[in-house]
Amino acid sequence: MPVKEPRTELDARYGDPAATATDWSEAVARLTEAEVFWLTTVRPEGRPHVTPLLAVWWDGALHFCTGAAERKTLNLAQNQEVVLTTGANALRGGCDLVVEGTAVRVTDEARLTALATEWEAKYGPDWHFDVRDGSFAGEHGNVALVFQVAPRTAFGFGKAPYSQTRWQF
């Protein structure tokens, strides 16, 4: 996937007067290092559904996996628009990130194999996956569908100093 440089904009209304926009490369580093993300999907009747999960930043997008019968997968069958969030969970210091985009299922065996390698490198051997039939295959025959979310819009909320950066792709 070609790397697109986003248009970066600091919204001065929501930060310290001395704040500067966060560089996209810093956001990518934080997305790469973050261990826990919160995925927001929309239920068929329109209510939000939020759940924590693991995600991997690879090839210009966030990737997550989930079981075929899980609520988030059922939601994605109706509406693929999602939000993934991660951050420092602190009032002072760090940067919280919000990534908006469309969740697209990944079924290509070569991409899945590369992603399985990334998952294990990031999260350790407890998160080893084999690739079978366009999915991740885990222990005990568990199957996980893999989704990719390329950012359409992302936000960074800095907290030392306070700032709000928007990246448009």
Domains of the chain: 7-168 (2.30.110.10)
Q: Which residue has the tokens 């826990």?
A: 36
Instruction: Give the DSSP H or E segment for 28.
Output: helix 24-33
Per-residue 3-state assignment (H helix, E strand, C coil) for 108-131: CHHHHHHHHHHHHHHHCHHHCCEE
63 phi, psi to nearest 5 deg: -130, 135
Per residue in 7-16, pLDDT (tens digit) is 999 999 999 9
Q: How many CA atoms does the CB half-sphere of 134 hold within 13 Å?
A: 6
**pLDDT at 169 (0 to 100):** 96
Per residue in 23-64, pLDDT (tens digit) is 999 999 999 999 999 999 999 999 999 999 999 999 999 999
Rounded to the nearest integer, the mean pLDDT of the chain is 95
Question: Per 3-state DSSP, what percentage of the chain is helix, strand, and coil (rounded to 5)?
Answer: 25, 45, 30
In the chain, the amino acid numbered 88 is: A
Q: Tell me which residue of 24, 28, 25 sits closest to 9, measured CA to CA.
A: 24
Helix, coil or strand: residue 26? helix
Question: Is pLDDT at 163 greater than 70 in this prediction?
Answer: yes
| Rounded Cα gap, residues 80 and 138, in angstroms | 24
Is the dihedral angle over the CA atoms 145, 151, 154, 21 positive or is it negative?
A: positive
